[in-house]
Amino acid sequence: MQALGIDIGGTGIKGAPVDLATGKLLADRKKIATPSPSTPDAVTEVVRELVQSFSWSGVIGATFPGVVVGGTVRTAANVDKTWIDRDAAALFGKATGMGVTVLNDADAAGVAEMTFGAGVGVKGTVLMLTFGTGVGSALFTDGILVRNTEFGHIEVRGKDAEKRASEHAKVTHDWNWKDWTDRVSEYLQHVEALLSPDLIIVGGGISKEADKWVPLLSGIRAKVVPAALQNDAGIVGAAMVAAGTAGGE
């Protein structure tokens, strides 16, 4: 079985068809820069363009960087605020002429990692964190997803944690690996104090360079591992949820 996954981020929107039996992409993923401003109409047009680029007709899943309830966006920290209370599923469905399932981006990435990646077979509490434009989170207890956690907005030193720990923050402030990882460690210590996870999976674009920063993390009891699917996890998870193949979702 196959489905198309689309991953909407603050800086890029990417998609690819997914083999739901293996979690592998069936074609090279395509990426288009997130429009600025990232209004509902502008982002919806990119989604339509991606669907057409694969000549796709079938199941479609899409992620969104915020809280999503029943296909409707409730928060929009890193995209245009006019998204709030808009029915993303209806917008994408009308633009593509097909049903589109929409869910939080980190939740989608976590579902993929728990099924095909670093979380396979892990019981207890697993926390997936995605480091990109912001910091996304997905929390699992014995494989069951707790939706829309948004732990990137925990306050650390008077600011949203993602203002200090995201990949965007690293680039904006030109922090070296150690300086940035010190901030990530402090954030993870806060999260660990709240959740006591058995495993922390770190994903997002910067997970491709995990060897440069994961070994520098300090003060964390939980095992920390990079996402096996790296930045494709959101695409895979969106496709899985849309197709109904996400066991713990």
CATH superfamily, region 120-228: ATPase, nucleotide binding domain (3.30.420.40)
For residue 173, the tally of other CB atoms under 10 A from its CB is: 12
Spell out, as residue ranges, where the chain has pLDDT lower than 70: 247-249
Task: State how far the alpha carbon of 40 is from the alpha carbons of 85, 131, 161, 212, in Å.
Answer: 11, 23, 26, 36
pLDDT of 247 reads: 61
pLDDT of residue 249: 57
Report the sign of the C-alpha dihedral through residues 227, 75, 134, 153, in that order.
Answer: negative
Assigned CATH for 2-107+232-243: 3.30.420.40
249: tokens are: 């979702």
Give the pLDDT of residue 159: 93
DSSP symbol at 35: P
What would the pLDDT profile of 2-20 be if each residue is shown by its tens digit?
999 999 999 999 999 999 9
* pLDDT for 162: 96
- Where in the chain do CATH 3.30.420.40 domains reside? 2-107+232-243, 120-228
Instruction: Supply the pLDDT for residue 191.
Output: 97
Predicted confidence at residue 245, as pLDDT, reads: 82
pLDDT at 72: 98
